Amino acid sequence: MLLGMSAARAEEGVAEGNNCGNGETDIATDRPDVTNSSQVVPRGSVQLENGINWTTRQGGTVIDGSNTRVRFGVMQCTEVLFDLPNFFHPLRGSALSGFSDFSPAIKRQLGYLPGDIKLSATVGLELPTGTVRIAGPGYGAYVQLPWSKEIREGWSLSGMFTAFLIPGGHANNPTLEPTFAVERQVGSRADFFVEYVADHPRRGASSQIFDSGGAYRFTPTQQIDIRVGIGLNRAAPDHLFAVGYSFRFDDLI
């Protein structure tokens, strides 16, 4: 999600030459939408983002959690993050059960492109620690470019382009994933979004999802969120639902 920040705080950040956030900045998470935030975690802060997903696909239902991402602000405009193994459990149908891989990454906020588009870049690995039938064999990798742009007061656009090398897949068959979202901030604590997500492997069936949801920051460093979505073609999930809770500790490092 995009950064929820008051106009006064935004002006203070620009005046200080600090566009990468600080301990006075409201929490900005990479959930609940697929599009990650273009804002990194403030230097010296630790942020934990958690959630549970419920997904139906061709008659099968799967629940997975805790979808935990741990983000450390190690330098100004730079963070390291870790996606912890996620457990998948079938509730109905013949879906598989097991853990996903452990995935470390580094994210750098790059600044602004022409048109006041905020841009970041993330490079990550998938280590072969999960259940092979769930995560696939071997190593994986990805590169992501999340961006965002304020278009008018309370309204913003965001998106992300990701290139995946699926574990066990061939290097000449990457999966490309573009996303696009429109977000509306409501007051100083809540925001809502609608989003389009597409996965395009070089070989194989593509999938498309439309989803919507929102987040509410009941303190500047704590957030609850919700997401619902539908698949737009046969290769995508039929329906999905997610809830989450995220929080941040400042001045720890």
Question: Mean pLDDT, consecutive 10-residue segments, the chain of 253 residues?
Answer: 44 47 87 96 96 93 97 96 97 90 97 94 97 92 97 95 86 88 95 97 90 97 98 95 97 79
Look at the pTM and tell me if it is higher than 0.75.
yes
Place of tokens 């490079």: 123
Q: Determine whether 219 is exposed, middle or buried from the number of CB atoms within 10 Å of its CB (0-12, 13-18, 19+).
A: exposed
Helix (H, G, I), strand (E, B) or coil at 7: helix
In 5-90, which residue ranges form alpha helices assigned H by DSSP? 7-15
In the chain, which residue ranges form alpha helices assigned H by DSSP? 7-15, 132-135
Would the CA dihedral through 230, 234, 236, 239 be positive or negative? positive
Decide yes or no: CATH 2.40.160.40 for domain 7-249.
Answer: yes
In this predicted structure, what is the pLDDT of residue 247?
98
In this predicted structure, what is the pLDDT of residue 12?
39
Domain ranges of the chain: 7-249
